[in-house]
Structure 1
Amino acid sequence: MSDHTFTLSNGLRLGYCEYGDPRGEVAFYFHGWPSSRVQGSLFDAHAKKHGMRLICPDRPGIGLSDFQPHRTLLDWPDTLTQLAAHIGADNYHIIGWSGGGPYVLATALKLHKRVLSASIICGAPPLKFLGDRQMFWLYRFMIQLRHYFPTILGLVLRLGGVTAKGNPQKAPLRWLMRLLGEEDRRVLLLPGIFDVVRAATLGALDRGPRSVIADADIYLNEWGFEVSQVNFPIRFWHGKQDRNIAWTYTRQIAEIIPQAETHWSEIDGHYSLPITHSEQIITAALQKKVLAHPRRDRENFTAA
């Protein structure tokens, strides 16, 4: 793990971390919500094994990165362009997990000439378009608090930061773990895994609720483009036992993207899929953007 910062053209500092092979093909990893650059360490071993230099930036206001007022999703391609120039990458892969998914779509739309491959794992949907009925009830609850009681949401997020520091096998964190599917619980309790997820979450929450709420607002607001405009091959990975973000969201999004390749797992959830199948995700990404057909649907990829 190697932390770095540099200054953007707007004068704000952007932080990022490097994993994998320092001489490998560059890939940018976009973390989830609420999370931070530390989440990328879950892919470190396989990135190193397969020759991928994994760059994991903190979004503005998260971790090492300065807060950017009035930020929109379409601000991200310019930020990424500056980061790519800073590290000397002309072309690169992009990978996003959960809340990082929309950033993959925005990048593929605006920077498609530089993108080698684009992968979305259990990605967040355009809620203005598809609604929040298929979201985890806790997320729906926080969305309502954001609309009607933002101060209370800030208190809930602070409480979440305190709770995350506990033992996942003891109350109250154990109660939250029970809300997850069986495979998610199993994987999160593997040695060292929960520690990484916790550290990544605290990397966002420790900066206070303002930045975390502003990061969430990106998903709740208009994205500034239609998903169907993304005419670039996108590989989607989603588990059908995902209780955080229903896999049916990804199916709906893939249906309107001209070049979509979907990979489904019958047994995996929101956490188990990227952690258990990180090697498959990385090796597929390194195949770049060549698809045999405009659309491919791979059921039960875990059996492959």
Structure 2
Amino acid sequence: TPRPSRMSDHTFTLSNGLRLGYGEYGDPCGEVAFYFHGWPSSRVQGSLFHEHAKKHGMRLICPDRPGIGLSDFQQRRTLLDWPDTLEQLARHVGADNYHVIGWSGGGPYVLVTALKLNKRLLSASIICGAPPLKFLGDQQMFWLYRFMIQLRHYFPTILGLVLRLGGMAARGSPHKAPLRWLMKLLGQEDRRVLLLPGIYDVVRDATLGALDRGPRSVIADADIYLSEWGFEVSQINFPIHFWHGRQDRNIAWTYTQQISQLIPQAESRWSEIDGHYSLPITHAEQIITTALQKEVPVGNRV
């Protein structure tokens, strides 16, 4: 699917003087939804939802987190800083009420938004979301993530080098080494979907949007997942739509099972065959129509 042009990119200045960048996709006159990208990724990832958002009347606004893509680096940022940043972005785009959707590393940002800004929210959706690692541990994470966590603790300089090498590798073809070797680590559906026309190009561009700024910003973004979040998930009093594939090798579905049990109004949807990439891409329309409380198309059920 052709991605919208970079004409969709915008920036504005926050009250702290820093610039925040974002992309816009979908229907420019539709209901506003903010999309929170994964790690390491950037606003471009939201373009994977463009066609379905446009079809169903959703204006999808995808901010780069501070230090990523078009957004300036913010010293000592915490997860609890996010609601204020989002409120300023919402005012800037003229949204009093809105949906929030987060994929993978965007999941914690949905949770803190649901906790602090629930009166503004129309819906909250988390796809294959990252867990509170301080609370639940990293044993159910992809071995490569666990390896990077160890590097962060003991050899942060080497982690920076690994991320730079990852950015160089991402520019290659998924049909050739070394990417072909990495693709073999993924499940069958993830490999199939990433090799569909145009899909890997978007995933690559979104990743490079983070890595092109250098490893410092990407590591700082990762540090938030490893830190104390500053709130209990059980405090969230808002319905959360959880989506997770049981073949997810990046972030195990059991994390979502544990988190959803702590949230009184959680609703979980599982796919038996999908992984970390195939679930949001294959079921993008159902994720959007569920958020908008529209009829789910027959034959596209998880």
Q: Do they fold alike, i.e. is TM over 0.5?
A: yes
Q: 2-side partners of 1:94 and 1:143: how far apart?
A: 28
CA contact under 8 A between 2:32 and 2:99: conserved in structure 1?
yes
* Residue in structure 2 matching 1:81, options 69, 87, 98: 87
Matched, 1:156 2:162: yes
Q: 2-side partners of 1:182 and 1:21: how far apart?
A: 33
Residue equivalent to 2:122: 116
Aligned-pair Cα RMSD in Å? 1.0
1:136-151 paired onto structure 2 within 5 Å: 136-151=142-157
CA contact under 8 A between 1:265 and 1:302: conserved in structure 2?
no
* Residue in structure 2 matching 1:190, options 189, 196, 201: 196
Matched, 1:219 2:229: no
Residue equivalent to 2:293: 287
* Residue in structure 2 matching 1:259, options 254, 257, 265: 265
Please report how far the alpha carbon of residue 303 of structure 1 lies from its aligned counterpart in structure 2 after TM superposition. 4.8
Instruction: Provide the aligned length of Structure 1 versus Structure 2.
Output: 292
CA contact under 8 A between 1:145 and 1:152: conserved in structure 2?
yes
The AA in structure 2 aligned to 1:61 is G
**TM-score normalized by structure 2?**
0.96
CA contact under 8 A between 2:286 and 2:301: conserved in structure 1?
no
Q: Deviations over 1:146-184 (max 9, x none)?
A: 000000000000000000000001001100000000000
The AA in structure 1 aligned to 2:103 is W
* Residue in structure 1 matching 2:65, options 59, 74, 92: 59
Matched, 1:209 2:215: yes
Please list every run of 5 or more consecutive structure 1 residues that lacks an aligned counterpart in the other structure: 289-300
Cα distance change of structure 1 residues 107 and 156 upon mapping to structure 2, 3 Å threshold: same
Please report how far the alpha carbon of residue 110 of structure 1 lies from its aligned counterpart in structure 2 after TM superposition. 0.2
Q: 1-side partners of 2:90 and 2:173: how far apart?
A: 38
Residue equivalent to 1:270: 276
The AA in structure 1 aligned to 2:272 is E
Please report how far the alpha carbon of residue 186 of structure 1 lies from its aligned counterpart in structure 2 after TM superposition. 0.1
Residue equivalent to 2:176: 170
Cα distance change of structure 1 residues 245 and 302 upon mapping to structure 2, 3 Å threshold: farther
Please report how far the alpha carbon of residue 40 of structure 1 lies from its aligned counterpart in structure 2 after TM superposition. 0.3
CA contact under 8 A between 2:286 and 2:300: conserved in structure 1?
no
Please report how far the alpha carbon of residue 287 of structure 1 lies from its aligned counterpart in structure 2 after TM superposition. 1.4
Please list every run of 5 or more consecutive structure 2 residues that lacks an aligned counterpart in the other structure: none
Q: SS at 2:261's partner residue?
A: helix
Residue equivalent to 1:298: none
Matched, 1:228 2:244: no
The AA in structure 1 aligned to 2:185 is L
Q: SS at 1:256's partner residue?
A: coil
Residue equivalent to 1:180: 186
4+ aligned runs moved over 6 Å, structure 1: none
Q: Deviations over 1:117-154 (max 9, x none)?
A: 00000000000000000000000000000000000000
Identity %: 86
The AA in structure 1 aligned to 2:97 is N
Cα distance change of structure 1 residues 263 and 37 upon mapping to structure 2, 3 Å threshold: same
